[in-house]
Amino acid sequence: MTSQGPTVAIFATCFNDTMWPEAPRATVTLLERLGCTVVFPREQTCCGQMFTNTGYADEAVPLVRKFVDVFERYEHVVAPSGSCVGSVRDQHAMLARRSGDGGLVTAVEELTPRVLELSEFVVDVLGRTDVGAYFPHRVTYHPTCHSLRMLHVGDRPLRLLREVRGIDLVDLPNATECCGFGGTFAVKNADTSIAMGSDKARHVRETGAEVLVAGDNSCLSHIGGILGRQRSGVRTLHLAQILASTEEDPA
């Protein structure tokens, strides 16, 4: 593969790395197909979001430091997760300030604007919407909250999906409403979380789609967990998997 594109450090995210490796794998496949050189800095672990959002800021600060140490040397850092990128771009500076380490604050402010969610990178940096994907299935897209309201990715994922050959892309009713995952909210407020997820799953089923796609496997594990429990016949895929899908190597 000739690579004339930029070198990209992939931030796999701990959740994808451990539980949903298909998403970062598809991200690598896609970015390499688009001419990028992808590197995986092995020392990476976690952005710290679970700690931050549960109130464990002191536990999150070392992970912010680690994130900077691992990624500050790269011009482009890309993650297949709106939520983790949201935490990096929206919360790392706050955590660095809490640590009282001025050097860390500066390093975070310098690095985090370069950390992009996959659709941001492909559309804004690579300038592509047609990524040469093929996926002949009925699909509906859930715009996850952090992609939508923290990162403001807007319609970038939909612009990418619309160009996928063979896709039957249908609108999800009440798409912008939260699915109810919310990290530890899913277990701390399990009843409310399930009530929200059930409504989301109902809207997904209303579309008649066979695949629910989103840019975050955390939300998908929640909605998909409900859809699976219902034996709904709907599967979930990460956006990267559909964009990486080809006739030769289907998702």
Partner 1 sequence: MSTSPADHGAPPTGDVGAGPTAYPDEPAPLQRTSATFLGMPSFQTAAKAALADTQQRRNLAHATATIRGKRAAVVAEVEAWEELRVAGAAAKDEVLHHLPHYLEQLEENLTARGATVHWARDAEEANRIVVGLVQERDADEVVKVKSMATQEIELNEALEAAGIHAWETDLAELIVQLGHDRPSHILVPAIHRNRAEIREIFLREMGEVGRPAPEDLSDEPARLAEAARLHLREKFLRAKVAVSGANFAVADTGTLVVVESEGNGRMCLTLPETLISVVGVEKVLPTFADLGTMLQLLPRSSTGERMNPYTSMWTGVHAGDGPQDVHVVLVDNGRSHVLADPVGRDALRCIRCSACLNVCPVYERAGGHAYGSVYPGPIGAVLNPQLRGTGSDVDKSLPYASSLCGACFEACPVRIDIPALLVHLRTQVVDEASGRSVEALGMKAAAWTFADHRRLEAAQRAATVGGRLLGDRTIRTVPGLGAWAQARDVPTPPKETFRQWWRRTHGDGAGTDGTGTDGTGTDGRTA
Residue 40 makes contact with partner 1 by CB under 8 A: yes
Among 30, 34, 63, 115, binds partner 1 (CB under 8 A): 63
| Min separation Cβ 54 and partner 1, Å | 6
Contacts of 1 (CB under 8 A, 6+ apart): 32, 33, 35
Pick from 162, 171, 192, 208: which binds partner 1 (CB under 8 A)?
Answer: 192
Helix (H, G, I), strand (E, B) or coil at 2: coil
CA-nearest of 208, 239, 204, 240 to 223 is 204
Q: Select the residue interacting with partner 1 from 14, 122, 153, 239 (CB under 8 A).
A: 14
> In the block, which residue shows the tokens 């604007």?
113
Q: Is 178 left (phi over 0), alpha (psi -120 to 50) or beta?
A: beta
Q: How far is the CB of 66 from partner 1 (least distance, A)?
A: 7
Q: Which is nearer to partner 1, 129 or 149 (CB)?
A: 149
Q: Which is nearer to partner 1, 58 or 130 (CB)?
A: 58
Shortest distance, position 198 Cβ to partner 1, whole Å: 8
120-139: contacts with partner 1 (CB under 8 A):
none
Distance CA 32, CA 104 (A): 32
For partner 1, the binding residues in 203-242 under the rule CB under 8 A are: 221-222, 224-226, 228-229
Which of 30, 31, 68, 76 binds partner 1 (CB under 8 A)? It is 76
Query: Which residues make Cβ contacts (< 8 Å) with residue 231, sequence separation at least 6?
Result: none
- Regarding 85 and contact with partner 1 (CB under 8 A), the answer is no
12 belongs to the binding site for partner 1 (CB under 8 A): yes
The residue (of 9 and 30) whose beta carbon lies closer to partner 1 is: 9
Among 214, 215, 250, which Cα is nearest to 133's?
250
| Binding test (CB under 8 A) with partner 1, winner from 33, 35, 54, 173 | 54
Q: Other CB atoms closer than 10 Å to residue 84's CB: what's the count?
A: 27
Check residue 35 for interaction with partner 1 (CB under 8 A). Answer: no
Closer residue to partner 1 in complex, CB, 164/251: 251
Q: Is residue 77 within 8 Å of residue 46, measured between CB atoms?
A: no
Distance CA 130, CA 123 (A): 9
Q: Which of 82, 143, 157, 180 forms a contact with partner 1 (CB under 8 A)?
A: 180
Question: CB-wise, 93 or 170, nearer to partner 1?
Answer: 93
How far is the C-alpha of 83 from the C-alpha of 164, rounded, in Å? Answer: 24
